[in-house]
Copies of this chain bind each other. A is one copy, B any other.
């Protein structure tokens, strides 16, 4: 069946490509008819130019330009459809060997190859990987949806572990990759010369683990929430940290590096991280307050738009201030879900959920297609096989060096705490990371589109070789690690099939503002609904009751996840009290009356 899809795709693409070329010539000649405009040159005589030439592109009349962009968009959307359809097919047939992201990359590569070998460079230019599009259009929905869908209780319970892996882990990884690459290039085997700061920048690029693929796999297997949360949290914060590290390295590009630069870099990084978090929190709280103190919920269409726009504002504002938009958006999403969500009209609650999910899903698929495409459509790439192999080995070593020592440190620390503080032993055992989780975490370190987008910003004479290396390594990790994750989960005996209340995406998973008054009635009504409305999902009753409880006793719900009583950590207790007694009454509408 996959081969059928592929062959249909191939045939269609050839037809498309032919159409494009004839369309291109047709429009070119209509442009050539324009005798009055002196700078307008006929472009249909040179269909075999393969070099990018932006000036030519601008001379095409807007209508011809529109035709080209229509075809480019048609192809991209067609690829998206194919990827989504394959994903549906894989899910329905329960095929575990191939993952949809691998297919997305593959489809992208096929079409990229066709575009590359076909004459004309219009489409090739139109579908090039553009880091600005990536950061401004594709990335925000994914991050926002991650923050919005996050299981907050799990995330904050494991925040220590997550931050340990995210911050020192990424540092270790970048430095290991940087040092190995720097030594390798100094050996002079290949004609690449990079400074140590540039090598570190590449290291940062290649330390951004991908939150998309691994999580979609974990989601479909319903992996143990703790492992899920750690890997999810790490990969999300990871991206932000790599971006900040990369930008810090770029600032030192071409300068002499001293020991003080190291501390300068670290303090710059910590400052960025803190301010970005604060921006996100403030905007999230702002949304909650605006929704509480206005009557905008009477106009749910406007409300939905405003919520979406406000969230995006946090991203762009933060980026514009040289801060990390990802961090801001993530914390804005979390704050929104924790407070603002309960002040929205129900229509907006449903709409935001669906819209964020849709945008995230489209972006995720698109990013991988884009990666596949750019393997062939990027013109500047210089492939050096040996460098690619060395770099691939590099990142495996770096990941190893980051995960295992840090896990050992976390386990040691939790044991140390247990010895000093025997009362709370149950909660502290929870902090330990068993070996199979460590191994899985190592395996989950596949790199994603953030790395490629960052690599676009590399400077210096070796840019094309380094960019090609990063691109290939990213695709390799996705195919190798992503493709074998399912098998690895089985091999390592990791618990799958856990039901996670918060990820239920049924349409009746609606939190109702006035819950504390008539909870029983609502449960009855929703149960009544299911009889008539729900045909397909069977765990519906559970999820509604779960999320209804979730609202009221957000922190007592700890028992439901995997059947064991986890207890409440000390560090989260004070926040829970503060949240319940101060923040929620101020920010939430529903608890007022």
**Interface residues, chain A, CB within 8 Å of chain B?**
19-20, 23, 26, 30, 33-37, 40, 54, 58, 61-63, 65-67, 69-71, 73-74, 77-78, 80-81, 84-85, 87-88, 91-92, 131-132, 135-136, 247, 250-251, 253-255, 294-302, 304-306, 308-310, 312-313, 316-317, 319-322, 325, 345-347, 350-351, 354-355, 357-358, 361-362, 365, 456-457, 459-461, 505-507, 512, 518, 521-522, 525, 528-529, 532-533, 536
Contact = CB atoms under 8 A, between A and B. Distances in A.
Number of identical monomers bound together in the oligomeric complex: 2
Nearest to A246: B63
Contacts of A507: 300, 346-347, 350
B358 A460 contact: no
Contacts of A40: 459
Counting chain B CB atoms within 10 Å of each CB, which of A61, A73, A308, A345 scores highest? A73
A84 B525 contact: no
Contacts of A294: 88
B325 A70 contact: yes
A62 B458 CA distance: 9
A318 to B, nearest CB: 8
B346 A34 contact: no
7 contacts: A20-B320, A36-B254, A67-B320, A88-B296, A88-B306, A298-B536, A525-B529
A84 B347 contact: no
B81 A306 contact: yes
A429 to B, nearest CB: 36
A70 B351 contact: no
A5 to B, nearest CB: 14
A311 B273 CA distance: 41
A36 B505 CA distance: 52
A130 B30 CA distance: 21
Counting chain B CB atoms within 10 Å of each CB, which of A251, A299, A506, A521 scores highest? A299
A505 B19 contact: no
A132 B77 contact: no
A225 B99 CA distance: 50
B309 A33 contact: no
A418 to B, nearest CB: 42
A106 to B, nearest CB: 18
A460 B309 contact: no
A84 to B, nearest CB: 5
Nearest to A40: B459
